[in-house]
């Protein structure tokens, strides 16, 4: 059974190690700068409220349980702030500003954000149906089903790739609005915020690498069977 194929680990292990390192990096960086209060005394929740008013964003703010579970939902125009991001710290302010960066993207109809949202339904189906179809195709020796599986999983890989410019741009916007609105007033604070955002971005790079390497593994198996 290909579930235990050593070739799978050859393809996926580097990306998996990158993902583990990225998770450690984001957790340790956030933990470090969550202990550094902002000189302005502003916290994450106040940051959201101030920026929404400053940029006249038609969005709501909601709380969400968990640690670093902050996100922006363009369907409901809601910025969800996690329990870890409501305090007065450089890390909290940076994370919340990043989510407001997504709200600004939505307000400006930022093309990659719109494209990512448009393919979400297909990704939700293809992401879990694709691997199943690929396995069934292997068991039934059906290259057609295997290709259907590859195409389904390719949608998930495409989603991960499109996510990169969306997240990088949101972080760029976050640093700019924190500086332009004097929410972080020193170079030390801005460097700390950048380190938090860079660490978070690394998790998306790792996710894209995992998706691409898994897709490449599937294609390698399929093309290998065709040559036999």
- Cβ(196)–Cβ(91) under 8 Å? yes
Please say if 99 is a catalytic residue. yes
Give the C-alpha separation, 116 to 121, whole Å.
Answer: 10
- Cβ(70)–Cβ(95) under 8 Å? yes
The pairing of strands 78-82 and 60-64 is: parallel
Exactly one of 99, 143, 167, 188 is catalytic; name it.
99
Q: What number of other Cβ atoms are within 10 A of residue 154's Cβ?
A: 17
Q: Partners of 72 in the beta sheet?
A: 79
Residues marked active site are found at 99
């Amino acid at each position: 059974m290909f579930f235990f194929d050593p070739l799978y680990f050859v393809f996926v292990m580097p990306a998996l190690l990158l993902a583990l390192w990225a998770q450690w990096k984001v957790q340790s960086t956030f933990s470090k700068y969550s202990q550094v209060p902002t000189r302005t005394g502003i916290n994450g929740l106040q940051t959201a409220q101030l920026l929404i008013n400053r940029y006249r964003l038609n969005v709501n703010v909601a709380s969400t349980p968990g640690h670093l579970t902050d996100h922006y939902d363009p369907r409901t125009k809601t910025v969800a702030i996690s329990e870890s991001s409501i305090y007065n710290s450089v890390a909290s302010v940076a994370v919340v500003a990043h989510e407001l960066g997504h709200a600004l993207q939505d307000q400006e109809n930022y093309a990659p954000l719109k494209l990512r949202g448009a393919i979400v339904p297909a990704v939700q189906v293809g992401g879990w149906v694709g691997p199943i179809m690929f396995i069934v195709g292997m068991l039934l020796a059906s290259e057609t089903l295997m290709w259907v599986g590859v195409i389904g999983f390719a949608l998930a890989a495409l989603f991960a790739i499109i996510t990169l410019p969306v997240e990088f741009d949101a972080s760029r916007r976050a640093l700019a609005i924190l500086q332009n609105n004097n929410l972080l007033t020193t170079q030390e604070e801005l460097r700390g915020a950048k380190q938090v955002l860079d660490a978070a971005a690394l998790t998306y790079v790792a996710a894209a690498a995992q998706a691409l390497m898994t897709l490449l593994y599937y294609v390698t198996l399929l093309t290998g069977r065709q040559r036999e």
